[in-house]
C-alpha cells in the first residue's frame, strides 16, 4: 500500500478484516506500506498491521512479496505509481479519482487493459458502490423494480470549508488535488449515478464557484505551497462547489451538487431515482437504510418504505450481524477488498474498472468545460 493517511487507514481496515468475515479464495497478506517519512511510515505499519515499511514506492513495487499495489496517495501521483505497478506485473487498486487529468486516466486505462491480457487486475476505488444499500439499489434497478427511469438526483454535501478561516490544505490546490469538490465529492456521485442507472451520461451543463479565494496557510505546509502571500494566506485554486445537470441515453434527467459549504451536512451523499414504476432514495448519513416506493401498489397503502439493509439476503450481509445490527463507513473497504480478491482469484476485471474511472474523469472534464463556457451543455467524450 502506498499512502497511510485517512484512506490508508481505511483500506488497511478493509484488508485486515475481509478474510475474517468473508470466505475468500485467497488470503490477503499485508506485506508492506510505503510513505516518504521513514519514522511515520514505520509507525503506520505497526499501527495498521503491515509487516514492513518502505519510503520509496518504487522499492515497494520492486518487491517480490508484493502481488497487489493499493494506491492511497493524492491524485497527482496516481498515474505514475499505477503505470509502474502495472508494468511490474502487479495487480492494482487505485483510489478515486483515477487521476487528475483525462490524459493520465487514458494512459492508465490503456495500461490496465494491456495488463489484463497478462492476467493482471486493476480496479478503481469508488467504495460507495459497495454499501449494502447502494448495492441493493442497483440490484433493484436492474430487476426493473422502478421501471423506465425519469430522474436521478444526487447531492454530496459537506461543510468543512464553510468557515473562511479553515486552512489551505493540499485538497485546495489544483496541482495536487486536480479539482476541489468536483473531484473529491462530485466524482463519487457521478460514479454512483451511472452505476445505479446502468447507463452513462451523454452531456452536462455546469456551474462552479470558489466562494473563499484566499485562506490561511497551515504552518507546517506553508513551505511546500506556491503563491504564499505576505499576509500568511494562500490562494485557493480549486472549486468550492459544483452544480450540474445531465442527460442519460434513456431520456432520464440527472442533477448533481457537490459542496463543502453546506453547514451542518457532514457527509450528506443523498440520492434519489424516480422511475415510472417506483423510486429509490438513500442518504449516506443513514447508510443502513434504503427507501423504496413501489408505484404499482394501490395508492391507499403505498408509501416510501424504509428498508433496513441488514437482512441475510441483502448484498454483503450473508457474512455480518443479525438484522438491525448496522454496518459503518469502513465496511465499504472490507467489501472492496473482498470483491477484489475474488476478481484476482478468478482472473476477471472487477467493476469499477480503470475504464470506468476514465469515463468518470471525462464527465468531470465536461463539467469543467461547461462551467468555463457559460454553462453550455457539453457532450461527454467517448
168 binding a copy of itself? (CB under 8 A): no
Among positions 55-114, residues that touch a copy of itself (CB under 8 A) are none
Q: Which is nearer to a copy of itself, 113 or 369 (CB)?
A: 369
Which CB, 150 or 214, lies closer to a copy of itself?
A: 150
> What distance in Å separates the CA atoms of residue 2 and residue 58, rounded to the nearest whole number?
10
Which of residues 106, 257, 339, 368 is near a copy of itself by CB under 8 A?
Answer: 257
- Which of 77, 199, 326, 342 touches a copy of itself by CB under 8 A? 326
DSSP 89: T
Interacting residue with a copy of itself among 138, 171, 215, 293 (CB under 8 A): 293
Applying CB under 8 A, which part among 116-124, 174-182, 267-275, 352-360 lies near a copy of itself? Answer: 267-275
105: closest CA among 336, 380, 360, 371?
Answer: 360
Question: Is residue 307 within the footprint of a copy of itself (CB under 8 A)?
Answer: yes
Q: Does 25 bind a copy of itself (CB under 8 A)?
A: no
User: Please, are residues 242 and 257 in contact by the beta-carbon 8 Å criterion?
Assistant: yes
CA-wise closest residue to 205 among 244, 258, 247: 244
Q: Which stretch binds a copy of itself (CB under 8 A): 79-87, 96-104, 323-331, 339-347?
A: 323-331
Whether the bond between 330 and the residue before it is cis, its omega within 30 degrees of 0, is no
197 with 249: CB under 8 angstroms?
no
Give the three-state DSSP class for 245.
Answer: strand
Cell, residue 136 = 441493493
In Å, how far from its chain's centre is CA 62? 27
Q: Which is nearer to a copy of itself, 180 or 350 (by Cβ)?
A: 180
Give me the residue label for grid cell 495488463. Answer: 115
Least Å distance between CB 123 and a copy of itself? 21
Q: 208 and 182 in contact (C-beta within 8 Å)?
A: yes
Smallest gap from residue 273 Cβ to a copy of itself (A): 9
The reply to whether 267 sits near a copy of itself by the rule CB under 8 A is: yes
**Total residues interacting with a copy of itself, rule: CB under 8 A:** 96
Contact between 187 and 368 under an 8 Å Cβ cutoff? The reply is no
Sole binder of a copy of itself in the list 64, 65, 231, 299 (CB under 8 A): 299
Min. distance of Cβ 59 from a copy of itself in angstroms? 24
Amino acid at each position: 500500500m502506498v499512502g497511510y493517511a485517512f484512506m490508508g487507514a481505511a483500506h488497511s481496515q478493509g484488508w485486515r478484516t475481509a478474510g475474517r468475515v468473508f470466505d475468500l479464495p485467497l488470503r490477503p497478506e499485508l506485506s508492506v506500506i510505503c510513505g516518504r517519512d521513514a519514522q511515520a511510515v514505520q509507525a503506520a505499519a505497526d499501527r495498521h498491521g503491515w509487516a514492513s515499511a518502505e519510503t520509496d514506492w518504487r522499492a515497494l513495487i520492486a518487491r517480490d512479496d508484493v502481488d497487489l499495489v493499493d494506491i492511497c496517495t493524492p491524485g497527482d501521483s496516481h498515474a505514475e505509481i499505477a503505470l509502474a505497478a502495472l508494468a511490474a506485473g502487479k495487480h492494482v487498486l487505485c483510489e478515486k479519482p483515477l487521476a487528475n487529468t483525462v490524459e493520465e486516466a487514458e494512459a492508465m486505462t490503456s495500461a490496465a487493459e494491456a495488463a489484463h491480457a497478462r492476467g493482471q487486475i486493476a480496479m478503481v476505488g469508488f467504495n460507495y458502490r459497495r454499501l449494502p444499500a447502494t448495492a441493493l439499489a442497483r440490484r433493484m434497478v436492474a430487476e426493473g423494480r422502478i421501471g423506465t427511469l425519469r430522474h436521478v438526483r444526487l447531492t454530496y454535501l459537506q461543510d468543512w470549508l464553510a468557515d473562511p478561516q479553515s486552512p489551505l490544505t493540499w485538497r485546495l490546490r489544483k496541482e495536487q488535488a486536480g479539482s476541489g469538490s468536483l473531484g473529491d465529492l462530485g466524482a463519487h456521485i457521478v460514479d454512483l449515478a451511472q452505476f445505479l442507472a446502468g447507463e452513462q451520461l451523454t452531456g452536462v451543463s455546469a456551474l462552479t464557484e470558489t466562494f473563499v479565494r484566499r485562506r490561511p496557510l497551515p504552518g507546517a505546509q506553508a513551505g511546500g505551497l506556491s503563491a504564499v502571500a505576505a499576509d500568511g494566506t494562500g490562494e485557493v485554486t480549486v472549486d468550492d462547489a459544483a452544480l450540474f445537470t445531465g442527460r442519460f441515453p434513456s431520456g432520464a434527467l440527472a442533477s448533481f451538487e457537490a459542496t463543502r459549504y453546506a453547514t451542518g451536512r457532514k457527509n450528506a451523499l443523498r440520492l434519489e431515482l424516480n422511475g415510472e414504476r417506483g423510486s429509490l432514495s438513500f442518504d449516506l448519513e443513514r447508510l443502513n437504510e434504503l427507501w423504496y416506493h413501489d408505484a404499482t401498489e394501490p395508492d391507499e397503502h403505498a408509501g416510501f418504505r424504509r428498508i433496513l439493509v441488514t437482512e441475510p439476503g441483502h448484498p454483503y450481509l450473508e457474512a455480518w450481524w443479525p438484522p438491525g445490527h448496522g454496518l459503518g463507513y469502513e465496511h465499504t473497504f472490507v467489501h472492496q477488498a473482498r470483491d477484489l480478491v475474488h476478481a484476482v482469484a478468478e482472473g476477471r476485471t472487477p467493476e469499477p474498472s480503470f475504464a470506468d474511472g476514465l469515463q468518470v474523469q471525462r464527465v468531470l472534464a465536461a463539467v469543467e468545460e461547461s462551467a468555463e463556457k457559460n454553462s453550455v451543455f457539453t457532450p461527454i467524450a467517448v
